[in-house]
């Protein structure tokens, strides 16, 4: 019995800032970002959007475009690192909105939960749903990834921002891709990228050392939430390489093969925090697992790094990148970082590229190298199914991205600082954040959403 992704849909922020505009404002050479990192645009949420909105829009498109009967859905599992509540999962918001649109009680017996492990949470949700359907082949599940990648102004991560969601139907006899049941994992507990609870003393805010009640806070310390992470870019890159390399060779061991594994994959789908990240991270695996290994692992540290640089700049590696990685980079360069959704957007980008170029990929294997900071990598593979092109055509990926609304730098900064009070683009045929309760003491902070025709 084949188990995999039967349908896919997405929703990304409809506003974008050209990378050139950001580069000029930050006194960065545009070519450094465009040709060096593969960046063209970065998408940003409008005032009426958050991760629930993106997830609900993607899920609604999945249901409508594929005429899914929600009575058949046993699970809706969400991967995210952009939760809007420390207790109530995004998935619980999603079932409420789906029932609001498609019928009260239609998902009452559906199991929902959120998975959080930085950018790999969506892959964890997918693996869990695949296992569930494999044990219960008459049932179906949906995986939703929804995130908002926000970085501090003037930071080294600022130009990698992005926002959006994907929704995928997991079922037996899938139309798009069937996954094998072998998965390799490499995990280590590190601080390469994280979003900690931050605190500031109440006295520093109020100027009063008597710890009086302040906006219902009795504690002497006030917790501050920031969407922006604490990260060390260089260290995070090294963790990405280490975890992915270890998971890759663990996968080879699991398959009990000595052949060059990546040579068996038509395309390689990786987590892309920015468009060219994958090609930078994969060069080590490429050198170590070549038919005639370019690196043995026995070199001195200096020789190892020098050879690795030579490999990454070689014509052979560039040709390899163009063949196996470049199709996944196309959408990333137009969207930015989707955190948990980045690897799946890379997958959709690859399929859309092959569809547009009339390529024949039915029966071909794709390799997936997932990564999440903190840190963990998972490596797995799947085989493209016969109806992939018809299923992917419904997503209208590149056609939708062409309709993105360009904003200027002033508007970008206002949105980033949450100074923009009105939506930049009038919402149409989408979910919106309607209001946040601030009066009823039993519902303070409750978020309410509605569908705009």
Q: What is the 3-state secondary structure (H, E, C) of 80-119?
A: CCCCCCCCCCHHHHHHHHHHHHHCCCCCCCCEEEEECECE
pTM for the predicted model, two decimal places: 0.97
Nearest to 385 by CA among 152, 177, 165, 153: 177
Architecture of domain 3-192+232-452: 3-Layer(aba) Sandwich (3.40)
Give the Cα separation of 342 and 118 in Å (integer). 11
In this structure, what DSSP letter does residue 229 have? P
Per-domain boundaries in the chain = 3-192+232-452, 197-224
Lookup: tokens for 184: 């390799």
pLDDT values of the chain reduced to their tens digit, one per residue, 453 residues = 999 999 999 999 999 999 999 999 999 999 999 999 999 999 999 999 999 999 999 999 999 999 999 999 999 999 999 999 999 999 999 999 999 999 999 999 999 999 999 999 999 999 999 999 999 999 999 999 999 999 999 999 999 999 999 999 999 999 999 999 999 999 999 999 999 999 999 999 999 999 999 988 999 999 998 999 999 999 999 999 999 999 999 999 999 999 999 999 999 999 999 999 999 999 999 999 998 889 888 889 999 999 999 999 999 999 999 999 999 999 999 999 999 999 999 999 999 999 999 999 999 999 999 999 999 999 999 999 999 999 999 999 999 999 999 999 999 999 999 999 999 999 999 999 999 999 999 999 999 999 999
Please, which residues bridge with residue 77 across strands? 113, 143
Tens of pLDDT, residue by residue over 375-423, are: 999 999 999 999 999 999 999 999 999 999 999 999 999 999 999 999 9
CA quadruple 112, 117, 118, 124: dihedral, nearest 10: -60
Q: What is the pLDDT of residue 296?
A: 85
**Contact between residue 217 and residue 202 where contact means Cβ atoms under 8 Å apart:** yes
Taken as a whole, the chain contains a residue count of 453
Cα four-point dihedral sign 424, 427, 430, 433:
positive
Integer Cα distance of 448 and 285 in angstroms: 47
Task: Look at residue 291 in the predicted model and tell me its pLDDT.
Answer: 87
pLDDT of the residue at 331: 98
């Amino acid at each position: 019995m084949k188990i995999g992704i039967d349908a896919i849909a997405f929703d990304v922020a409809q506003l974008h800032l050209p990378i050139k505009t950001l580069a000029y404002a930050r006194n960065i050479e545009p070519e450094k970002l465009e040709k060096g990192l593969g960046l063209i645009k970065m998408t940003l949420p409008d005032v009426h959007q958050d991760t629930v909105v993106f997830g609900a829009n993607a899920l609604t498109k999945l249901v409508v475009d594929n005429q899914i009967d929600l009575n058949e859905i046993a699970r809706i599992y969400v991967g995210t690192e952009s939760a809007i509540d420390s207790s109530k999962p995004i998935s619980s918001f999603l079932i409420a909105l789906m029932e609001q649109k498609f019928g009260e009680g239609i998902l009452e017996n559906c199991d929902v939960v959120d998975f959080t492990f930085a950018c790999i949470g969506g892959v964890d949700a997918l693996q869990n749903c695949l296992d569930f359907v494999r044990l219960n082949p008459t049932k179906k599940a949906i995986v939703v990834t929804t995130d908002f990648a926000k970085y501090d102004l003037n930071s080294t991560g600022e130009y990698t921002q992005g926002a959006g969601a994907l929704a995928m139907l997991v079922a037996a006899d899938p139309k798009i891709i069937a996954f094998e049941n072998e998965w390799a994992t490499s995990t280590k507990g590190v601080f390469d990228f994280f979003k900690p609870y931050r605190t500031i003393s109440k006295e520093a805010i109020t100027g009063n050392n008597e710890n009086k009640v302040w906006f219902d806070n009795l504690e002497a310390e006030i917790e501050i939430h920031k969407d922006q992470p604490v990260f060390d870019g260089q260290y995070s890159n090294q963790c990405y390489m280490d975890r992915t390399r270890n998971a890759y060779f663990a996968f080879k061991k699991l398959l009990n093969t000595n052949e060059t594994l990546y040579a068996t994959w038509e395309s390689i789908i990786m987590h892309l925090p920015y468009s060219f990240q994958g090609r930078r991270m994969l060069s080590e695996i490429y050198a170590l697992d070549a038919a005639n290994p370019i690196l043995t692992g026995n070199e001195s540290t200096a020789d190892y790094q020098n050879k690795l640089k030579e490999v990454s700049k070689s014509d052979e590696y560039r040709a390899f990148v163009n063949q196996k990685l470049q199709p996944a980079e196309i959408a990333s360069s137009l969207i930015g970082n989707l955190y948990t959704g980045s690897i799946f957007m890379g997958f959709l980008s690859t399929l859309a590229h092959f569809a547009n170029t009339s390529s024949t990929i039915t029966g071909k294997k794709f390799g997936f190298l997932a990564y999440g900071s903190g840190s963990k990598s998972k490596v797995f593979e799947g085989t493209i199914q016969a109806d992939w092109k018809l299923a992917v055509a419904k997503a209208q990926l590149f056609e939708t991205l062409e309709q993105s609304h360009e904003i200027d730098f002033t508007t970008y900064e206002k949105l980033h600082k949450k100074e923009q009070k009105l939506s930049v683009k009038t919402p149409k045929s989408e979910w919106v954040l309607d209001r946040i309760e601030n009066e009823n003491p039993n519902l303070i902070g409750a978020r309410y959403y509605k569908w705009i025709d």
